Amino acid sequence: MTHPISLTRRALVCAVLATTSVWAQAQSIVMSSTTSTEQSGLFAHLLPAFKKASGLDVKVVALGTGQALDMARRGDADVVFVHDQAAEEKFVADGFGLKRLPVMYNDFVLIGPKADPAATKGKDIVAALAKLSAGNAAFVSRGDKSGTHAAELRFWKTANLTDKKGSGYKECGCGMGPALNIAASTGAYVLADRATWLNFKNRADLAILVEGDNRLFNQYGVMVVNPAKHAHVKQADAQKFVDWITSPTGQGVIADYKIGGEQLFFPNAGK
């Protein structure tokens, strides 16, 4: 026969374990974000500071921006941190996000072989794409509905070359790091965000060829997923992350992230 005290003790242990499990779950949020923020090394620098300030862990799922937004639409994330403003504003307009806030920016750059066989070097991304098209130069597109892919498609459209990208144009359906690896191994051109490029080690014969065009501006935004769409969303904890990353403290941590003395992201919350 089981002693009543043993039963009571067992019930207490179960209750404590259940409470601990719930508490542990409450101490983390899921963030869907981009491969550029992950592969640039920003999160390894940023998230420990946020945890120190809040006690919260952030579990990052790094995808292309389109996939990151789709993940949030399904209710599989609490907060979204991406870089395609038009898609972000539609996400909010469709009721999936509470509010979009700007966080930081950097820029896109055209990467290619140092010898630059297509003669793209300069500050005009549209003129560079026209040369790539005319010469059927090898070009690696991410082709993954990411923020970088969306920007690339905008630039081809601006150049009136949406359907005339040249025979060297290939989509990899991959993240920024893999796309750069393909370009490095094949001597191809590729559009990249500067932060991932600066953190990229396998550069081979690649170099920045086009930079400084105002059209290459790359803005990042953050949004809490709307709990009205998915009741399990940890709105309060997700809001803590949004409030922190847009605060002077969080913005300062972003500004402090540098590689080789070069700043990778420039905070601009509230601007």
Q: pLDDT value at position 21?
A: 42
The rounded distance, in Å, linking the Cα atoms of 147 and 219 is 10
Whether the pLDDT of residue 169 is over 60: the answer is yes
The rounded distance, in Å, linking the Cα atoms of 126 and 143 is 19
- pLDDT tens by residue, 57-94: 999 999 999 999 999 999 999 999 999 999 999 999 99
- pLDDT tens by residue, 185-213: 999 999 999 999 999 999 999 999 999 99
Q: pLDDT value at position 160?
A: 97
On average, the pLDDT of the chain sits at 92
Task: Name residues whose C-beta falls within 8 Å of residue 130's C-beta, 6 or more positions apart in sequence.
Answer: 159, 161
Domains of the chain: 4-105+219-267 (3.40.190.10), 107-216 (3.40.190.10)
Query: Residue 109 phi/psi, 5° resolution?
Result: -140, 150
Task: Name residues whose C-beta falls within 8 Å of residue 191's C-beta, 6 or more positions apart in sequence.
Answer: 108, 109, 110, 111, 141, 148, 151, 152, 155
First CA to last CA distance, the chain? 71
DSSP state of 84: -
Q: pLDDT value at position 250?
A: 98
The rounded distance, in Å, linking the Cα atoms of 120 and 213 is 13
Confidence of residue 44 (pLDDT cuts 50, 70, 90): very high
Whether the pLDDT of residue 104 is over 80: the answer is yes
Q: pLDDT value at position 18?
A: 43
Burial class (CB in 10 A: 0-12, 13-18, 19+), 4: exposed
- Nearest one of 148, 138, 151, 144 to 182, comparing CA atoms: 138
Partners of residue 191 on adjacent β-strands:
110
Tokens at residue 80, please?
């979204």
The reported pTM is 0.85
